[in-house]
Amino acid sequence: MREFSEQELVRREKLNKIKELGIDPFGDKFERDAYALDLKTKYQDVEHDAFENMTDTATVAGRIMFIRKMGKASFFTIKDKTGSIQIYISINDIGEEAYNLFKSADIGDIVGVYGKVMKTKTGEVTLKCLKYTHLVKSLRPLPEKFHGLTDIEERYRRRYVDLMMNDESKNIAFLRPKIIKCIRDFMDKEGFTEVETPILSTLLTGASARPFITHHNTQNLDMYLRIALELPLKRLLVGGMEAVYEIGRVFRNEGMDTKHNPEFTLMEAYLAYSDLEGMMDLTEKMFATIAKDVFGKMEYNFSGHTINLASPWQRISMIEAIKNVTGIDFKKEMTLEEALALAKEHQITVEEHEKTVGHIINLFFEKYVEETLIQPTFLYGHPIEISPLTKKDPQDPRFTQRFELFIAGKEFANAYSELNDPIDQLERFESQLKEKDLGNEEANDIDMDFIEALEYGMPPAGGIGYGIDRLCMLFLEQDSIRDVLLFPTMKERN
């Protein structure tokens, strides 16, 4: 049984006294007609003396965050979802019984106040309490006001306390949905249809990632939580929907750090008769729309850099970017032995399933180039070995029509001119199975139903996936993914 602290015991005694007064300590419905921010905005420019002739009243509710008790009159502050407002309360205005009830209140209690709008001599918009209503007794003391939860891990574990104490966290919590709503509005105006696709799958497809595995008892069938949204959405292109997108959770059984959470929000979009260039244009336009409509600015402080989202963004091929940094020209034809020798010379470890020229090119990119791409950059021309769902480059079939968007050295989007050749697609899937046999736990399965769909004919298309959490990190100027997730995955407490 948990032992209560002295403060918790005192609060429980007060709880019993509230019950003795015939008041429900955990409250009932309460009708309010105003919020703190609305009152401050409406009355902040009204002169102090003008309130003498005003009779404006308001009813507010919120959590007590500060109390200054002064005998027969006191001040306290309550906080609602919009912010805080000061309350002046006096025994002369509400009577002895209600004032005694107020004097038993603790920081953290939730109360309702009906009162007259006024302004103190210091110019603070305040409600003069005319009716005080106890709503909820807080049985635990809040963290010390000026520091809140100083343990970063505890902030994420007890997000509800963090939201009470940390205005920045609350601001992020409200801005993230605004970003996502802006994205939805933008996509809808661009002619896309939002759809929903299955979270459970019997195949591992759509991305290179380790899955979470679950079990369907009735069917006695092992299933995966989806790692991507791609293949069901492309089936909809086959069906004639032509422009579709989905914003949804995906699950990857991988490590946790400042950039990764095992479950995260992804948006994928597919547009018939478009291509890689179309996805670049769509992306620049979407980021600019969020920047202007939600935040009203084009520059953001992110990961120690000032990021400028103004167009045009840099567009560079992977092999060109590698050459710029290392001097190595992978555009030249090269044998596997030559590529392995270069990797050894540059202290790059090559796993068994990575022993292809394409994989080695990607390893060079990850070591030498990725972290140097600070301003928004479309990096295109990925090797075919690491792009199993992408059209080949007609000029050089060793590479594909794919790009990744990098900002501050981090990947923000992945886009393709979509592979719609069922024969080529089946060969790519078969190559993935060979990689799986060599130890690549992230290789795709063969999805024969998807091959069948392609055999009916999928229009040429552009497709793209955006990491919504990372996008929010940029716009909210946060360096950790945990700061833009309300409930990030956490390790068990010791």
What is the rounded distance in angstroms from the CA atom of residue 304 to the CA atom of residue 11? Answer: 45
pLDDT at 159: 93
pLDDT at 148: 55
Q: What are phi and psi of 415, to 5 degrees?
A: -135, 155
CA nearest to 406, candidates 312, 314, 482, 483: 314
pLDDT at 209: 84
Q: What angle do CA 162, 167, 172 make, to 5 degrees?
A: 85
CA nearest to 463, candidates 199, 196, 267: 267
Tokens of residue 385, six digits: 């070995």
From first to last of the 494 residues of the chain, give the pLDDT tens digit: 789 999 999 999 999 999 999 999 999 999 999 999 999 999 999 998 899 889 999 999 999 999 998 889 999 999 999 999 999 999 999 999 999 999 999 999 999 999 999 999 999 999 999 999 999 999 999 987 545 566 788 889 999 999 999 999 999 999 999 999 999 999 999 999 999 999 999 988 777 788 999 999 999 999 999 999 999 999 999 999 999 999 999 999 998 888 899 999 999 999 999 999 999 999 999 999 999 999 999 999 999 999 999 999 999 999 999 999 999 999 999 999 999 999 999 999 999 989 999 999 999 999 999 999 999 999 999 999 988 878 899 999 999 999 999 999 999 999 999 999 999 999 988 887 887 777 777 667 788 999 999 999 999 999 999 999 999 999 999 999 999 999 999 988 76
Rg from Cα positions in the chain: 29
Q: How many CB atoms lie within 10 A of CB 411?
A: 15
Three state DSSP letters for 234-282: HHHHHCCCCEEEEEEEEECCCCCECCECCEEEEEEEEEECCCHHHHHHH
Helix H or strand E segment including 359: helix 357-368
pLDDT at 389: 77
What is the rounded distance in angstroms from the CA atom of residue 369 to the CA atom of residue 377? Answer: 12
pLDDT at 432: 79
Residue 212's Cβ-count burial label (10 Å; 0-12, 13-18, 19+) is: middle
Query: What is the DSSP-derived secondary structure letter of residue 142?
Result: P
Helix H or strand E segment including 134: strand 125-136
- Answer for the pair 459, 242: CB distance below 8 angstroms, yes or no: yes
pLDDT at 146: 47
What is the rounded distance in angstroms from the CA atom of residue 434 to the CA atom of residue 385? Answer: 12
Domains and CATH numbers, the chain: 6-142 (2.40.50.140), 165-313+375-483 (3.30.930.10)
